[in-house]
Structure 1
Amino acid sequence: MLKGRWIRAGFLGLSTCLAGLCATAQSVPANKPDSSASLSAEAPRSWIVDAAANELRALHHPNSYLRYRMHTIDLKGDQVRDVIESKDGSIARLILRDGRPLTEEEDKAERQRLNNMIASPSDYFKHVKNDGEGRKLADQLIRLMPDAMIYTYTPGQPQTGKNNGTEVVLDYKPNPKFSPPSAPAQALTGLEGRMWIDAKSHEVVRMEGTIFRAVNFGWGMVAHIYPGGHLVLEQENAGNNRWIFTKFQEDVSVRALMVKTIHVHTNVEAGSFQTLPGPIPYQDAIRMLLDTPLPKK
């Protein structure tokens, strides 16, 4: 649900974020070279095929459950949440607002919201259903990435310095031969940027995207994405080869229904990852959240 932030707004969110924004993942072949001398021997697209398969696995994260903190700054303010991935979906508790502890009234309201989900599973699963739609769209768009773009090695292969290993750096731009199979996929035709892939694991370490030309949905009557928008994603291994986003930024302008232009400025950071021993029902996840004392700051 929450890793999906780039998936909703990045890899995919190129679409969902823009538009309003593995099945069984193939494993990375063990015999692919990862020495810097042989990196360019691989066709650029082959790195994306593997990276996309890994993103699908991370999106669905079978048999992997985490607890972490997510810090979001957007139009709703500055908020920190404690997040637990349950077997039913992710659940989050607001623990800090605008850099300060919650007031007694704010904490009471948050506890009531979470307790209501325990008392009314239908409310929780409505929430999960919405997330499921976003996950389904992400799945579809990630699968398109190898063919939706043209990939080239970046001269000089500039490293991020945040990854212990060697990174493959690829620039990407829309493939003129790509025919978007759906309206959301149209967003991919207006995006270009750069991608850093860990040469050993074939996981995406960083991805940058720029909306270099306008994108219309429904001839602009449903939505119009203005050029000049930017998207950034960073990921890391949170343990046991589970990759998850640690940073997501978006700065995008969208005109919806030919009426209102919305400027989306969002910064999301995730950290303090803990691996959970196994799946738990969402009700138990809520109880774990409510049993945890709020931070003093």
Structure 2
Amino acid sequence: MKNLKSTLRPGVLSVFLLAGLLPLYAQAPQEPKQIVRSAMDAELSADLTDHSRWKYRDVQKDGIDTVSIVVETDHGAVKRLISRWGRPLSDSEARIEDARVQTFIHDPSQLAKQKRDGMQDGKNAEELLRMLPDAFTWKVQSEDEKNITLHFEPNSKFSPPDMQGRVLGQMAGVLVVDKGQNRIVTISGKLTEDVTIGWGLLGRLRQGGTFRVERREVAPGLWQIVETHVHIEGKALFFKNIGQQQDEIQTDFVQVPHGTTLEQAAEMSKALK
């Protein structure tokens, strides 16, 4: 799924896309669960029609505080580091980074791995999105002219199919839906209790861990994830990637022309605007 980065990143919910069913406000009143299901259907439908590619600025607060320029193409995405520790790369560091980018775009194995990872992330995110209506109990928390905000709690009758479903199913939080376009704007949650793996012998994710994913319309009818925040404490012997500490912000979206090559993307990534 192209823009369903797990916020769970996809780990946790990078969980959303593009769409266009009837606006919620134009329909008869719906039950909260049906509102969620309609938004889910809209997001899944959007993924089938959104073939846009983007250039954007990616900021990651991961202890190193990196800034990169990302340029997407039909053949893969080029990511060029431009800043680390709050300062631009030196000339020698920039040359090393350029050599890395050139190696990447001409290495079929690295490109294939990126594609496989992206497909797996998309699959995970789609599975999480499909769980949303049934994994929780839903109620309308508030509503204004633009958005409707729903509160969710774990559904005791939900049987998660896998580990990421178990983590998702122990969350409580809010989901914000854009009524005009039936798009998911925000989803945020907190672990309501510890999640144990193998009765706690293989790992444990701590109660209180949080995630938040923010999405925005970056062009008419086209939505992208603009913020991902994941703070889940825990230790897992065989699932080290479950516990996450991630703060990522994406800005300055510019649409990339169809047919852009990786070589062209590499050049485009040098320009900050």
Q: Contact 1:72/1:267 (CA < 8 Å) preserved in 2?
A: yes
Partner Cα separation in structure 1 for residue 241 and residue 109 of structure 2: 34
Alpha-carbon shift at residue 153 of structure 1 (Å)? 0.7
**Does the residue aligned with 2:25 lie in a helix, a strand or coil?**
coil
Partner Cα separation in structure 1 for residue 154 and residue 130 of structure 2: 15
Q: Contact 1:193/1:210 (CA < 8 Å) preserved in 2?
A: yes
Q: Amino acid of the residue matched to residue 22 of structure 2?
A: P
- Residue 208 of structure 1 pairs with residue 200 of structure 2: no
Alignment of 1:108-123 (within 5 A): 108-123=95-110
Any idea what the Cα deviations from partners look like across 1:142-187, whole Å, max 9, x if unmatched? 1111111111011xx176xxxxx52101000111111112232111
Q: Amino acid of the residue matched to residue 136 of structure 1?
A: K
Q: Contact 2:203/2:237 (CA < 8 Å) preserved in 1?
A: yes
Q: TM-score, normalised by structure 2?
A: 0.86
Aligned to 1:126: 113
Q: Contact 1:189/1:215 (CA < 8 Å) preserved in 2?
A: no
- Residue 49 of structure 1 pairs with residue 37 of structure 2: yes
Partner Cα separation in structure 1 for residue 104 and residue 199 of structure 2: 40
Aligned to 1:84: 71
- Residue 189 of structure 1 pairs with residue 169 of structure 2: yes
Partner Cα separation in structure 2 for residue 261 and residue 28 of structure 1: 35
- Residue 149 of structure 1 pairs with residue 129 of structure 2: no
- Distance of aligned partners of 1:261 and 1:139 in 2 relative to their CA distance in 1, 3 Å threshold: closer
Match of 1:33 among 9, 20, 25: 25
Partner Cα separation in structure 2 for residue 181 and residue 262 of structure 1: 16
- For structure 2, the residue ranges without an aligned partner over 5 or more in a row are none
Q: Amino acid of the residue matched to residue 69 of structure 2?
A: D
Aligned to 2:80: 93
Q: Contact 1:253/1:261 (CA < 8 Å) preserved in 2?
A: no
Higher strand share: 2
Q: TM-score, normalised by structure 1?
A: 0.80
Match of 2:51 among 59, 63, 67: 63
Partner Cα separation in structure 2 for residue 82 and residue 220 of structure 1: 40
Higher mean displacement: 264-273 or 169-178: 264-273
**Does the residue aligned with 1:28 lie in a helix, a strand or coil?**
coil
- Distance of aligned partners of 1:117 and 1:237 in 2 relative to their CA distance in 1, 3 Å threshold: same
Identity %: 25
Aligned to 1:13: 11
Aligned to 1:19: none
How many matched pairs? 272
